[in-house]
């Protein structure tokens, strides 16, 4: 059993309006040291396969086919054995 | 200048409906090795302060006061000098 964390961010060239709203909200709270904010998504998948390589393949395909928008978003995948995550 | 990444996940005891939808969609695509899926949020902040400790303080307070729901969500903060991120 493996645990995969997929991080999905909008490409730097593409406007991210929610992050803009967060930046303004933080400025209103007094945090004007925050010069930029960009929001993204994460997905935690529990994958029942035999090898880490197979879990990486499943998680990458899940990101490519379902979770990430290939035109606007980038993603990264990190896989660990489920025992390591629980520890 | 520092770069902070805040990862926000719903607490394990709390139902996460979007992840449930993702799990079903992956099963429909043939990925029935995915036993659980939970979605979360990430925030990337660019913070203009002098020290890493100060950047960590700003990012943690941003999560506590604005980004995360203290009842339902957990968060983690990771800070790097902006040069390290660009490299």
| CA dist A19 → A38, B32, B42, B57 (Å) | 4, 34, 10, 19
pTM of the predicted model as reported, rounded to 2 decimal places: 0.92
Domain that holds residue A8: 2-13+40-86
From the candidates A11, A26, A36, A67, which should be mutated to test the interface with B, based on the most B CB atoms within 10 A?
Answer: A26
pLDDT tens digits, one per residue of A5-40: 999 999 999 999 999 999 999 999 999 999 999 999
| CATH at B8 | 3.30.1280.10
Ranges of H-type helices in B1-87 = 17-28, 52-62, 82-86
**Does residue A32 sit in helix, strand or coil?**
coil
Q: What distance in Å separates residue A17's CA from the closest CA in chain B?
A: 12
Say if A74 falls within a structural domain. yes
Say if A24 falls within a structural domain. no
Interface touch B38/A44, C-beta < 8 Å: yes
> What's the complex ipTM?
0.91
pLDDT tens digits, one per residue of B47-65: 999 999 999 999 999 999 9
- Average pLDDT for chain A: 95
Q: What angle do CA A71, B6, A47 make, to 5 degrees?
A: 65
Q: What angle do CA A16, A18, A20 make, to 5 degrees?
A: 75
Interface touch A36/B29, C-beta < 8 Å: no
Say if A79 falls within a structural domain. yes
Q: Could you give the number of structural domains in chain A?
A: 1
């Amino acid at each position: 059993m493996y645990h995969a964390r997929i991080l999905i961010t909008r490409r730097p060239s593409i406007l991210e309006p929610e992050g803009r709203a967060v930046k303004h909200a933080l400025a209103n709270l007094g945090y004007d040291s925050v010069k930029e904010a960009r929001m993204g998504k994460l997905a935690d998948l529990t994958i029942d396969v035999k090898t880490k390589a197979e879990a990486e393949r499943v998680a990458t395909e899940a990101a490519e086919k379902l979770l990430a928008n290939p035109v606007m978003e980038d993603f990264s995948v990190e896989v660990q054995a489920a025992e390591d995550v629980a520890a």
